[in-house]
């Protein structure tokens, strides 16, 4: 069912077959069908209207927050197609917050990227990312070539990108963020502020990411 939704056999707003019909089609009992629909609901692929049935949700994804999963891995794990693009890149002096997060001296040089993440061609997240410039010279080009922070940092010997912490809050988007995400300014976004480290615990990436509120939800895992 997940594959058929991803391939467009069932489109946004379509009502899925009944539990009885699905049980007959796949040759399983209704309890198994109910469990599968519950899993699809938890992932954000569908939603259930009481007394009406299950429907394909509008572009929403369920993004796993754990210690190691990256954007591309998470989206591919849902059977969907991820893409990341760099909108802008510059080297700048770290402000107080960025320097503190990356454990750098005040005004140390950092590479600042503005990126977007798409799922099946739908824009879901706009992010600002900072990397220590001394350790990762040319990281902007590596990100453009690989389409992934983890893959870009792997070129510098970072074998694993580890999420140390993430803070999430709802907020109103700026006009710029709303335009990049292609959504209304009155629709909230989910701001995810996070710090990623290498496997030795050294900070390598500080991120401020704005997720389209109507297209994403988070699932926190161990």
Supply the mean pLDDT for the chain.
91
The DSSP element (H or E) to which 96 belongs, if any, is helix 96-102
In this prediction, residues 2-26 reach a mean pLDDT of 85
Q: Give the three-class secondary structure for 52.
A: coil
Give the whole-number percent of the chain exceeding pLDDT 70.
Answer: 96
Q: Write down the domain spans for the chain.
A: 2-56, 61-220
- 216, 188 Cβ separation under 8 angstroms: no
At 46 the pLDDT is: 81
Q: Which fold has domain 61-220?
A: Chorismate lyase (3.40.1410)
Q: What is the pLDDT of residue 219?
A: 87
SS3 at position 137: coil
Q: Is pLDDT at 8 greater than 80 in this prediction?
A: no
CB contact set of 100 (below 8 Å; sequence gap of 6+):
none
Q: Is 56 strand, coil or helix?
A: strand
What CA–CA distance (Å, rounded) separates 33 from 67? 31
What CA–CA distance (Å, rounded) separates 207 from 113?
A: 10
The dihedral of CA 159, 165, 171, 174: what is its sign?
negative
Q: What is the DSSP letter of 201?
A: S
- Between β-strands 122-132 and 109-119, what pairing exists: parallel, antiparallel or unpaired? antiparallel
pLDDT-based confidence at 45, cuts 50/70/90?
A: confident
For residue 221, what pLDDT band results from cuts at 50, 70 and 90? Answer: confident
**Distance (Å, whole) CA 200 – CA 187:** 39
Task: Name which of 193, 186, 196 is nearest 211 in CA terms.
Answer: 193
Q: What is the value of pTM for the model shown?
A: 0.75
Instruction: Please work out, in degrees rounded to the nearest 5, the angle formed at the alpha carbon of residue 170 by the alpha carbons of 165 and 176.
Output: 100
Percent of the chain at pLDDT > 90 equals 64
Per the document, the length of the chain is 222
- Range with the largest mean pLDDT of 13-22, 53-62, 79-88, 202-211: 202-211
CATH 1.10.10.10 fits 2-56, yes or no: yes
What radius of gyration do the chain's Cα atoms show? 20
Instruction: Find where tokens 């995810």 sit.
Output: 192
pLDDT at 38 over 80: yes
């Amino acid at each position: 069912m997940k594959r058929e939704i991803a391939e467009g056999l069932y489109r946004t707003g379509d009502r899925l077959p009944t539990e009885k019909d699905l049980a007959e089609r796949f040759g399983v009992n209704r309890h198994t069908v109910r469990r599968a629909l519950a899993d699809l609901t938890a992932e954000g692929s569908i939603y259930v209207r009481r007394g009406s049935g299950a429907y394909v949700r509008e572009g929403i994804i369920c993004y796993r927050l754990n210690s190691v999963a990256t954007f591309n891995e998470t989206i591919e794990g849902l059977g969907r197609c991820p893409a990341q693009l760099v909108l802008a890149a510059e080297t700048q002096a770290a402000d107080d917050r960025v320097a503190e997060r990356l454990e750098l001296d005040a005004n140390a040089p950092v590479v600042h990227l503005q990126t977007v993440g798409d799922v099946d061609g739908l824009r879901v997240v706009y992010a600002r990312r900072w990397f220590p410039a001394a350790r990762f010279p040319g990281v902007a080009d590596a990100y453009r070539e690989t389409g992934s922070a983890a893959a870009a940092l792997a070129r510098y010997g970072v074998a694993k990108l580890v999420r140390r912490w993430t803070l999430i809050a709802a907020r109103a988007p700026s006009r710029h963020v709303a335009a990049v995400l292609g959504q209304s300014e009155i629709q909230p976004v989910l701001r995810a502020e996070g710090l990623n480290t290498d496997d030795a615990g050294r900070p390598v990436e500080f991120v401020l990411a704005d997720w389209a509120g109507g297209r994403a939800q988070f699932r926190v895992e161990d």
